[in-house]
Structure 1
Amino acid sequence: MIRSILFKNLGLKILSLCVAMVLWYSVVSERQTNLLVTVPLTFVNVPKGMKVRTVSAERVSLHLEGPVSSLRTMEIGKIRGTIDLKGSKEGKSRFELSPAHFNLPEGIRIAGISPEIVYVVLEKLLTFKLPVKPRLKGRVDSHYAIRKIYAIPKFVWVIGDRKAMSSISNIPTEVVTIDGLKKNLKKTVALEIPRDIHLKESLEHVEVHVILREKVWDKEFDGVALKVDQPSEGYSYTFDPSTIKVVVRGWATMVDALSPDDFKGIIPVKELKVGLHEVKPRIEAPEGVKVLSVMPDKVRVIVSEQVKE
């Protein structure tokens, strides 16, 4: 029975054996070769509160050996060395590289590593509370001035190494355009985090507030008309000059919208007799506007009797 099992399909078994031997021979007899490649180093498990300050080598050269077909099809770009920094202390640490540090395809061997020793310097990270500085671009409307600029939150906690932290005093925001602004502004913007600095807590945006105040303007109006107050019947009145100039003060938007026609120079003539007089005009101005000066401060008034026909 055993003999029948052994010799059953004998031809097929012999063929399979031959194929296996050919494949085995082709593998073991494939020409071996070598290849020199340069690969990057990556650092994992950096201790909390520290950063890699410097490394003696960011890339290393590998002398690889293996079958021609394996080296030819190998994806060199995916090969990298990994250094585990778990448990490392602040300062300089020494790492001796070995094949175990590299992710090589099966069948590829490392015959040499250069450099074999890599030094890594770890530095403690510092934590600082820094003010948020809104960045503005442009000018507000000419009738207004900026009274106050601030951000919410006003401060943020940041983390960075000693060198990075020594060069900054605040955290700026994205630019906020205020060209022609006529009212208070509240805008949500992102922070512009300097290089080698990161926020201690996740904070995507801050609110920038721009508070305006309206300016007070002084403005001169020339050509303000004169008007007789309580004239006497039978008399005529002539003014020299016929118009006056006034300087007023008020809120910028109000003053800027006025014209000489909005003012009147009132000349009281009730008590004046025939002849030449110098009278100080009384100015009627819109509510909220203060008269600062009148030029001339007195007007020559000629009072004449009207000729009866």
Structure 2
Amino acid sequence: VWPKTDMGWDIVPWGLERLLCWIQREYAPPGGIFITENGCAVKEDSLAAALQDTARVEYLQGYLSQVFKAIQEGVPVLGYFVWSFMDNFEWAFGYAKRFGIVRVDYDVQKRTPKASASLMSGLAKTNILRVPERVLDLSEYSPFNTRTLYRKKPAEAPNTQPKKPTLSDTEVRSMLREFCVRYQDQKFQLKMVDAFKQFMMTNDDVALMKARQNICLPIQMDVLPKYGFEPTRRGVAQATALISTLKDKDVAELNTTIAYLTRDLPHSAALEGAVG
């Protein structure tokens, strides 16, 4: 049986990794993914128990390990927020359940950082997370009611992860210019117009998003390998994540042009066709 938090919720870190990968496959959010709430309630009957919140530390280590695994798979996770910073009022349980990485003495309002706060502080300062092998093993997938280990040991696991490309600003500009040229192609534009016409009949935002992704993908799979990226959706995600970190003015302008060619221009053409 999966372990549970003090709320009775199952602890299944590998589920977060699978969810992140699924969201990226289905939606590929252009702004990346932010995890706005991840944490657990731990029974803390005393200050000493609260300050050594080992259960919460291991919970966070397990879930963060799986977030890192998703990032290695090309998921652009750009933010992670622990729930919660301090112990607080929980709607259904009042002050009975404690989620905070900072202990709150509700009688005098004194705040005291817990071991989990030290964990997150160290991670923020160093960008390094040390995880015991036992915790790492427990974070991996295992069939319900078993302890079967699906994580290969480092010595057993071949390094199959492709190295992420590191491009100069000039190379990024060259890649984006190539996309701009390809997206001006008449056949591409006609497919995009058809996608927007379908949207005007169904008003299905998700279907439109998927249609646009599928129309763009063949061009992306042709262009990206020239710059070291995989010809896959993961390659698209990695390129998008890289571009989002750049502050170059020309890159920003080229991104605006791409948005115009893949969204605004065909949308306007679809509207004109509907009016006509």
TM-score (norm 2): 0.18
- When you count strand as a share of all residues, which structure comes out higher? 1
TM-score, length-normalised on structure 1? 0.17
Rg bigger for which structure? 1
**Larger RCO (alpha carbons 8 Å, 6+ apart):** 2
